Amino acid sequence: MAVYYFPFSDISNYNGLMMIKYLTFFALMGWGLTSLAQIKMNNFRIVDAETKLPIPYVSISLSRANVAMNTEQDGLLSIPGDLATFRDTVFIAAQNYLIIKAPIRSLNGLDTIRLRKSAYRPPLITPSNTGTDTVLNKFNWRDVCFFAGVHTENARFSYLQMAQEFDVPVQGATLKQISICRLAHMGLVRMSADGDVIIMNQEKYVQLELTKFRLRFYDVDPRTGGPGRDIYTKVVEVSNKDDRNLKINLKEYSIIIPGKKFFVAVEWLRTFDNAGYAEYRSEQNLIYKPTLGMLPYATGKLKIWGLTYGHKWQPYTYYSPDWTDLAISATVKW
């Protein structure tokens, strides 16, 4: 049986999350594990520039190394190595804050990174009240058998968020509910090192794996046709969901859609509890829950967008031209 061993697991000062971060950075930035003892650690705290309070789940990504991670609740971040020698661009982003895009070497010698609040606020829209409840991108969850969110043998999955495009008949519709189909395991079968299959004690795995993620809501970017600005500024965090077909009630948020087109995105939280492993080029690489279902229907228009580690939205073409939509439906009142 394969056991993943984190090289820092005997250092009591570090928790599991930090170990994942170290491992990811080492593996993907080409550092030899043999020289760990000599590597300098760069520890940062990411805080709100005004309040000085730590910002949880800030996304940090390197476009060239194709690496991404999050801060935890404490806003802490550690990057191993001599940053002055790195040649890469770091993107530091959090909802409602201005994105920092800078050479990673500019972080050398810092211990605090301050993010400034974005001045942008979505326009106030009068809710429409002419129609009835409508389910957009309606699907039968039993049809979902393809999933996005993991590496495959030939393609690395490198997105911070994935968004589904929706069209509504009128401006000012109210978003009431989101349904998402994901893949979650019960862990009934385990493969031993010599290839035997062992049926595990099923009672141990009576509950599906939990997940935690954020929902983001965007209007359309007129230049690209993809996701544009946030249409809702409060953080919508979904946690402890143990179902495969997730239903998220949004009534309490009063999210008004300003135009006739909008996007709902899942933002992955790169935490220890969300982490899993998927093969890419015969090596196990970290991925994060939830996986997102794909609808096995071809509509002729691709409506899925992914936010890259370089913070650019681009169409998600992995299943093109066959599948065009995520298994995300939206219930709107208009």
Partner 1 sequence: MPALIHKHLIACIFALLLLPCVSSAQKIFEGQVLDKETEATIPGVTVILLKEKKGTQTNNRGYYKLLSTDTIATDTLQFTSVGYKTLKIAVSAYEPNMFVTLEVDVTQLKGVTITNSKKKIPQIHYFRMANIKTNDHNNPTLPFDAQYMFAVLAKAEKKHSRITSLKVGRRGFNDPNRPTGYAQFLLHILSVDATTGKPGQKIYTKQVIVEDNSMILDIDVSADNWVMDTDNFYIGVEWQRTPINERLVTGIDEIVWKTTAKGTQRLQDAPTYRMVYQPSLIAFINGKKYTAYYMNTPGNWQRYNLKISYMVMGTPVPYDTHIALSATLTY
Cα 161 to Cα 50: distance, rounded to the nearest angstrom? 27
Strands 59-62 and 67-70: antiparallel
When asked if residue 315 is in the footprint of partner 1 (CB under 8 A), the reply is: no
Element at 178 (helix H, strand E): strand 173-181
Give residues with Cβ within 8 angstroms of 26, minimum separation 6.
33, 36, 80
Site string for partner 1, 132-161 (x = CB under 8 A): --------xxxxxxxx--x-xxx-------
Handedness of CA 17, 18, 20, 25 (dihedral sign): positive
Cα 244 to Cα 185: distance, rounded to the nearest angstrom? 9
When asked if residue 277 is in the footprint of partner 1 (CB under 8 A), the reply is: yes
Closest contact distance (angstroms) between CB of 287 and partner 1 is 7
When asked if residue 253 is in the footprint of partner 1 (CB under 8 A), the reply is: no
Cα 248 to Cα 177: distance, rounded to the nearest angstrom? 6
Cα 82 to Cα 92: distance, rounded to the nearest angstrom? 19
With contacts defined by CB under 8 A, name the span among 8-16, 66-74, 217-225, 249-257 that binds partner 1: 8-16
When asked if residue 198 is in the footprint of partner 1 (CB under 8 A), the reply is: yes
Site string for partner 1, 227-246 (x = CB under 8 A): -----------------xx-
Task: Give 253 or 319: the residue with its C-beta nearer to partner 1.
Answer: 319
When asked if residue 27 is in the footprint of partner 1 (CB under 8 A), the reply is: no
Closest contact distance (angstroms) between CB of 280 and partner 1 is 10
With contacts defined by CB under 8 A, name the span among 37-45, 112-120, 223-231, 284-292 that binds partner 1: 284-292
**Residue of 172, 329, 327, 179 lying closest to 255 (CA atoms):** 172
CB atoms within 10 A of CB 116: 11
When asked if residue 283 is in the footprint of partner 1 (CB under 8 A), the reply is: no
Q: Contact 261/170 with Cβ under 8 angstroms?
A: no
Q: Contact 94/118 with Cβ under 8 angstroms?
A: no
Of 254, 279, 281, 283, the one binding partner 1 (CB under 8 A) is 279
When asked if residue 39 is in the footprint of partner 1 (CB under 8 A), the reply is: no
Closest contact distance (angstroms) between CB of 182 and partner 1 is 10
Cα 228 to Cα 144: distance, rounded to the nearest angstrom? 28
Q: What is the radius of gyration, based on Cα positions, of the chain?
A: 21
When asked if residue 209 is in the footprint of partner 1 (CB under 8 A), the reply is: yes
Task: Give 171 or 245: the residue with its C-beta nearer to partner 1.
Answer: 245
Task: Give 253 or 272: the residue with its C-beta nearer to partner 1.
Answer: 272
Closest contact distance (angstroms) between CB of 227 and partner 1 is 23
Give residues with Cβ within 8 angstroms of 168, minimum separation 6.
134, 136, 257, 260, 261, 262, 332, 334
Task: Give 151 or 216: the residue with its C-beta nearer to partner 1.
Answer: 151
* Interface residues toward partner 1, by CB under 8 A: 1-6, 9-10, 12, 16, 140-147, 150, 152-154, 181, 183-185, 187, 189-192, 195-199, 201, 205, 209, 244-245, 275-279, 284, 287, 289, 291, 296, 318-319, 322-323
